[in-house]
Structure 1
Amino acid sequence: MRAPLLAAAAGVGALALLHVRDPHVDGAYGFCPFLVLTGRPCPGCGGLRAMNLLTRGDLAGAVSSNLVAVSLLLVAAVAWLVWFQRRARAIPAPYLTWSARTVTLGGLAIVAFGVVRLTPWGAWLAP
């Protein structure tokens, strides 16, 4: 049970840091290299702000900052619960595995999100 509990502690620690140190302050966590080089937001831009807003209970603000980051947090929470349950029941799988198809489709969805948020009709997805 040590690995899932350590992973949970790391996740809670990261969210606590994002709650205490506000990423809405320009440069608080550095700058996105993609944004600096191109002037366009990458698929991850707004993710730190979204997590900060989630820790403050502002779901609508978090979704408007970065829909993918909020979705990935939900996926990570469900994956962690499955991992924890497997460890608690002593099922031999040491960690959660993802098929190549799932990883590829997820990656394509993130790239599509990044492209769509740059278009005029997807501008509402941009941070």
Structure 2
Amino acid sequence: MHDPHQQGAYGFCPFLNLTGLPCPGCGGLRAVNLLSNGEPVAAVSSNLFAVALVAVLVVAWLVWTVRRARGVAAPFLTWSPRTIVIAGLLVAAFGIARLTPWGAWLAP
């Protein structure tokens, strides 16, 4: 079993290796691992965006499950162009914020 807290346990981040800067996904695997071990505060310190994404996916899954139980055949997730743009802007804002001095607490 691999420990995501050990460097190189699951490979490397190409963006981090090329630039020396963490990408928006850096720390995401550690965050999900910590969430699955019942440590939400530690997970947030690894990657706040990944924790928020997991929360959104859990809520979406619950909504989808209730709809399916009621007989509504709806897709799990639908992505409009507006949603894609907003999601991209959120990822970019998070990635930039964690590189600034005032967003240093977001760094993995």
TM-superposition CA deviations, 1:17-47 (whole Å, max 9, x none): xxx5310011111000100111000000000
CA shift digits 1:49-87 (9 cap, x unpaired): 111111222111110100000000000001111111222
State which of 89, 94, 104 in structure 1 corresponds to 2:70.
Answer: 89
Q: In the alignment, what sits opposite 1:35?
A: 16
**What is the alpha-carbon distance in structure 2 between the residues aligned to residue 53 and residue 77 of structure 1?**
16
Task: Assess if the C-alpha contact under 8 Å between 2:61 and 2:76 holds in 1.
Answer: no
Structure 1 unpaired stretches of 5+: 1-19
Q: Which residue matches 1:9?
A: none
CA–CA distance in 2 between the matches of 1:98 and 1:74?
A: 17
SS in structure 2 of the partner of residue 22 of structure 1: coil
TM-score normalized with structure 1 length: 0.79
When residues 101 and 66 of structure 1 are mapped into structure 2, their CA distance, relative to the original with a 3 A threshold, is same
Q: Quick check: which one's helix share is greater? A: 1
Structural mapping, 1:7-26, within 5 Å: 21-26=2-7
User: How large is the Cα RMSD of the aligned pairs?
Assistant: 1.3
Q: Is this contact kept in 1: 2:60–2:76, CA < 8 A?
A: no
